Each structure stands twice: as C-alpha cells, then as structure tokens.
Structure 1
Amino acid sequence: MSRNDGPLFVTLGMFIIDEFEFRDDDGKPDGRTQKSQIGGGGTYAVLGARMWLPPGKIGMVIDKGYDFPGGIRERLLSYGEEMWMFRDQPHCQTTRALNLYQGEHRDFRYLTDRIRITPRDINGTKLGRPHSLHFICSPKRAQQILSEVREVAGWKPTVIYEPIPDSCIPEALPTLKEVLQYVDILSPNAEEALSLLSLPLPPTKSIIEKAAGKFLDFGIAAGGHGSVVIRSGELGAYVKTRGKNGLWVDAYWTASEEDARHVVDVTGAGNSFLGGLAAGLTYTEGDVYEATLFGGVSASFTIEQEGLPVITPNPEEPDWPNWNGNSPRRRLAELRRRLGK
C-alpha cells in the first residue's frame, strides 16, 4: 500500500437508518419488519474499503439528528473511530428510509428530509482531499459535485461514480454524457446500465460487454484511462478500460447450491464492492481489473447476513481483522487461484 499522505478513500454517500417492511404477493403485510438498521450506500461503501485499509485512511460523514440512537453510534465505532466524521444536526431527524419488499420487487423511499454531503463539507477537515472519491447520485447532482471538486486547487482524486437506480433511465443519458469526462470509474449494475442505454433485458454477458463499450465511447475520463465496471450479480463484474480488452471477474460466491447458502441479503453489496475496489487501487498501482477482485471479496462479506458484516480481531495478524470470522486476504487469494492468477 502506498500514498501515506491524507485519506485514501472517502465517500459522499449518506448515512441512513433503514426500516424494512415485507408484503406478500397480494400486497398484504406478512408480519415481518425490521426497525432501525444501519444503512445507506455510503456506509456500505466505506466498510467495503475498511476490509482492506486502516480506519485512519478512509472516511465518511455521519449526520446525527436529534433522534440518533446511541447503540448505532457504538456499532459504527466498532469498525474504527477515526473513519467517521460525526456532525450534530440538532434541529432535524437522522435521515431515515423505508425499504418495502413485495415478492421480488423492492420499493425505497425516504421518511425524512435528506442531508446531502458535498466536497465542500469535507474540504479542510480530516477527510479533505482524498485520493479516491466515491458518490452515489443522479447525473445532475454529479455535475454539482464535480464542479466543487474542481474548485479545490491541486486536488485530482480518482472519481468513482455510482448512479442511483432512479436516475438510470434514458432521459438521464444526455446529462450523464456531460459528466463522464470528469469520471475515472463509472459503475452501474447490469440492469441500470442497460436501462440507461435502452438495451434489452435480461442482462447477458454479450449485451453487458456492448454496454460497457458504449459508455467508454461517451468519453469517460477524457484524456485519461477511464474505466467502466458493470456489476452483474452472480455473473461477476465486467471491467473495461479505454485501450484495453474487457475482462470478466467472477463473483466470489458462485451460483452453486453450496455457495448459495452464503447469500442471505444483497443489500449494500454493490456499494461495498466499490469501496473494496477503491481500496484495491492502492495495492495494485491503479490496475482496475486487479482492484475489482478486492471489490468482489468485499461484496462477499456484505451479502452473508442481514445488515452489516461483523469485524473481529485477528490474533494471527493484528493489522488485518477478520470479517464474519474470515480473512479478506484469504478470500482474495482463493479468488485469484480460481482465476489462475
């Protein structure tokens, strides 16, 4: 790992307290609910990075409303106190959202006003000027964020942009094209990518590869080596960088019956994947393909349970804690072995 000055990864994703409600196919509540779970794409992203990086090298802003639960604060601190920048918001509630599941369909809506985070919020703080900057938003909001990044003299972070699902529609494509020149890594999931480009579903490897080529043609990281990483569930992830052949990276947990038992809840897996990928860039001298393996391992821990993965000490390697009782480095070695690396 290199780059000892300043944070290596910061996300602008929001912290959210999630509520869950489940309904049957007729729309009637089935009696299952989950209250006050830690959520938010930013939270999952920074934990994906935490699996590889020390807490003092990563970060996220946590806006604490007047109703912020103390138990949640303690859970967050268990991952490392240095990685969180808490901001008191005494005049508003902590951001909350409802995840409503009916069969395979998921609906998401905010229950409170959102407190958005911008580069200006971290400039001049311990999270200022990170080497990699991650955000999850619409293309229109991405324009505003990238404008603020350019305001900071001498700061040229690796920009990792994850479009929100609601904005992955053909009508948003013109604005997306305008922002891509300032983006280093664009990473929608497969359904989002095909929806943006008006390509047919369901996703197949061939059509995902076609989508990645189209995004590169739009001018990602103009003048640089921009990349597209399309997250594709059990198919893995497709990585294509300008001037290089595209490559597939297998998911850690495969579609086999034995592996399927490890897949409990995919909430946050894509966000965690990108945090892991960003961390991987620091170990691979910026090789996006190699870094994607780190992302796949981070996602593998995220989907093994409902809610966040559990961090515990590793007596054998104190600097490398275990997650869900296992070692990220061990899983990375296994994934590399499968890929013949």
Structure 2
Amino acid sequence: MSDDGTIKEQDNVDFCTLGMLIIDEIHFEGSRPPVYGILGGAGSFAVLGARMVAGKQYGKAVSWIVDVGSDFPADVINTIQTWDTGCVIREDKSRLTTRAWNGYGANEKRDFKYLTPKLRLEPFMLSQAQIFSKTFHMVCSSERCIHIVEEILHKREELQNHSTSIQSVTKPIFVWEPVPDRCTPEDQDKFLAASRMVDIVSPNELELGMMFGRPGWNEADPEDRKLVQKILHSGIGFDKQGTLVIRAGKDGSYSYSLGRKGTWLPAYHETQADQASKVIDPTGAGNSFLGALAQGMISEGRQGHQIIETTLAASSPWDKIKTRWGNDGQVPKAVICATVAAGFVVEQIGVPTVSMAEDGRETWNGTEFTERLRIYTQRLCKTLEQSSSDHDWLED
C-alpha cells in the first residue's frame, strides 16, 4: 500500500477471513491422549486452505489478522511465516492469546469452548487493501454475518466515493459457515435472513439438521431434501442465485443452487482403508475447505483450474455439471479445490507442513497441491461415470 493509503496493484487481496487464530487443546474420544498448544482456529485453517489453492505465486494475496498475546508460542509464529501469506500481526503483551478446548465424540461431533477471552475481528479493523478483498470468509452467528457483510459493503462504498484513485470494483464473494451452537430451530429465521446476504452458505450435515430440529441431514431422506428446497427458495445471496454447500465429512460434499440439480463430490480420502489409515484428526478441515472454496471461486485461468479442466475434459458427466452450473463451472471447480485442501488437513494433528523442493516446487505433507488436484480429478472421472451426480428431486 502506498503512503497515501491508496491500493497499488501489488496490494490486491484475493481472500480475507474474519476468523481468528486460536491455540487449541484437543481431546479425543476413547483412550487416545489429548494434545495441547496446537495451532488452530477457523481463521488459521481457512487461510491455510486458501493459501494451498493460491500457490506460492499468489500467497501474499491471502490476507488475515493474527492477534499475538503475551503467551504466544514462538513455534506457531515460525509455522505461520512458512505459509508466506499477507499476514498482519498485532501484538498485545497485556492480554493472553485466544485459547480453546475441543472435544470429539461419536461421528466426529465436536464440542468447543474458549479457555481465555477471545478477541473478535471486526470489519473496522481491516486495512483498505483487505476491505477490497475479492472474497471474504466468516464463521459466526447469523446476526454477526449480516453485520459483517453490511459493514464491509458500506466501507467499500464510502472509500470509493471519497477517493478518485480507487476504481469501481466487483462485489466481493462472501462465504459463511454458521457457528454450531447457533444452529438451532430458534435461530432458523435468522439463518435464512443471513443466507440472503451471502454468496455461499456452508453448514455441515449435523449443523444443518440441528437447524431444523433433526439429528442430522441425509441426502437420501425426502424430509431432508425439503430442507434444502426451503433454504434455496428462501434465497441465498442478493439475487437468490447463491449456493448451499453441505459438508458431509468422509462422505464428501453436496452443492445446491436454485433451479439447478445438486452436485455430489466425494471426499479426497474416500475409501474406508484410506480413512482408517490417513485420516488422523478432522479439526479445521471444514474451515480449510471453505477457505479453499473461496479462493477457488476467483482462480479461473490459474494452474489449479487448468488442471481440473484438462483432466476432466473428456468426461461427459462433468460437461453436464459445468453446463448446469454455468459460469464455466466456477462453483464445482472451487469445490474440487476445497475437497483436495481438506484432504491435507485431516492427515495430522494440527496443520500440514509446507516445504520447498530444490527445483522450486512447493509441497504440503510432501506432495504438491496441484499433483493431488490431478489425482483427485482423475479419480473423479471414473466416479462420475459410475454414479449419478444428478439429484432430480431438486430441479424446478
């Protein structure tokens, strides 16, 4: 950013999260011992997902704020720096770092509570470059979601009206994941109202079920299908053309938009053998999925999307999916990126490790993101041929 506060070309931001970095302790079901001092938080994992999709070339365009307290672990700072993102660090020695307790039960159901006072991020804390981000990620209540969207749009309009150096920009893409403890029947109307403010809303299957007084959500259940229809007809986004993405863990994800047939995509680790041997800890996978999804929505023409297009070029089911979704399959391609990113996150407790090979290739857990994207899309070709991804019940 220049001295007068205007945005330079190199300051363009692809992705910005309103989520926090949190230092976690994680307690597992059964006899597995707990772990402490783990880099976590929805903001951290969302940034991680966006950064994988962005690649090193666009890493600095992935932006976030990290609040560092007096007890902030030095090794966490070192890990963050290896990501090479547009990270803004705010240090305050008068407070403790935000810490939280995570407890897992049956079917990966997670309980969560803060152990120290949280320092929530607000739109007024964002820099001018961050305010003009192409995408925003939020994990919050319905009321807070509406507040964040309104404040960001108001601030953008205000800055544009008072500066001749800021050109008119396209409305950003807002990606919202509702907080689990507010997914209740009492909050249902608020949820529907907030969904009309965002481009993508993404509860997981348990949270979606809880929102409507059910134990979970199952695509095969006719009553659960009606829930999807209710949300879509209530409206997602200002033009009602937004997307509901239901994250279903080991069962992959389901994407729906008004007037289109639904699209199911399998998880990256889709076989029972892979899930048993390679899925170590699901903490943060959903956040990383959505960070990657947001980044994938604005990555048209970049290497990752080119790999998807090339690998799936001969697939007639994929061609039908692209046609139905329009905009050259922007949403399903972004969901593919999200699926691959989440596949890295579940492979260890904490975050995957990024390394730079001698030839300049960037790897996560020893594998390039783009290579896993190629592997996944090659498998997806066969999956789409063998099983229907069309959900006729949803078509208007």
The structure that is helix-richer by fraction is: 2
Quote how far apart the aligned CAs of 1:100 are.
3.2
Q: Is the 8 A contact 1:209 1:246 kept in 2?
A: no
Which of 17, 20, 27 is the matching residue for 1:14?
A: 20
Note the residue ranges of structure 1 that are not aligned, 5 or more in a row. Answer: 25-29
Quote how far apart the aligned CAs of 1:272 are.
0.6
Return the alpha-carbon distance in structure 2 between the equivalents of residues 237 and 31 of structure 1: 28
Kindly provide the CA deviation profile for residues 138-180 of structure 1, in whole angstroms up to 9, marking residues without a partner as x: 1121122122122120662100000011111111111112222
Seen in structure 2, the aligned counterparts of structure 1 residues 91 and 224 have a Cα distance that, compared at 3 Å, is: same
Return the alpha-carbon distance in structure 1 between the equivalents of residues 95 and 26 of structure 2: 22
Corresponding residue for residue 288 of structure 2: 272
Corresponding residue for residue 190 of structure 1: 205
1:94 pairs with 2:97: yes
Seen in structure 2, the aligned counterparts of structure 1 residues 326 and 74 have a Cα distance that, compared at 3 Å, is: same
Corresponding residue for residue 4 of structure 2: none
Return the alpha-carbon distance in structure 2 between the equivalents of residues 332 and 223 of structure 1: 31
Quote how far apart the aligned CAs of 1:280 are.
1.3
Corresponding residue for residue 332 of structure 2: 289
Aligned amino acid, residue 23 of structure 2: I
Note the residue ranges of structure 2 that are not aligned, 5 or more in a row. Answer: 1-8, 161-168, 301-326, 385-396
1:217 pairs with 2:233: yes
Corresponding residue for residue 260 of structure 1: 276
Q: Is the 8 A contact 1:254 1:260 kept in 2?
A: no
Kindly provide the CA deviation profile for residues 8-59 of structure 1, in whole angstroms up to 9, marking residues without a partner as x: 11111011011234575xxxxx682322110101100100111121321101
Q: How many residues align?
A: 330
Corresponding residue for residue 304 of structure 2: none
Aligned amino acid, residue 368 of structure 2: S
TM-score by length of 2: 0.77
1:334 pairs with 2:389: no
Moved more, 238-247 or 290-299: 238-247
Seen in structure 2, the aligned counterparts of structure 1 residues 194 and 22 have a Cα distance that, compared at 3 Å, is: closer
Corresponding residue for residue 302 of structure 1: 345
Q: Is the 8 A contact 1:11 1:135 kept in 2?
A: yes
After superposition, residues 159-238 of structure 1 pair within 5 angstroms as 159-201=174-216, 203-206=218-221, 209-223=225-239, 225-238=241-254
Corresponding residue for residue 36 of structure 2: 35
Q: Is the 8 A contact 1:191 1:203 kept in 2?
A: no
Kindly provide the CA deviation profile for residues 98-127 of structure 1, in whole angstroms up to 9, marking residues without a partner as x: 123466664311011110012211142x43
User: Percent of counterpart pairs with the same letter?
Assistant: 35
The structure that is strand-richer by fraction is: 1
Return the alpha-carbon distance in structure 1 between the equivalents of residues 109 and 296 of structure 2: 32
SS of the residue 2:131 aligns to: coil
Aligned amino acid, residue 68 of structure 2: K
Q: Is the 8 A contact 2:83 2:354 kept in 1?
A: yes
Quote how far apart the aligned CAs of 1:204 are.
4.0
Quote how far apart the aligned CAs of 1:232 are.
0.7
Seen in structure 2, the aligned counterparts of structure 1 residues 107 and 73 have a Cα distance that, compared at 3 Å, is: same
TM-score by length of 1: 0.89
Q: Is the 8 A contact 1:177 1:218 kept in 2?
A: yes
Seen in structure 2, the aligned counterparts of structure 1 residues 315 and 240 have a Cα distance that, compared at 3 Å, is: farther
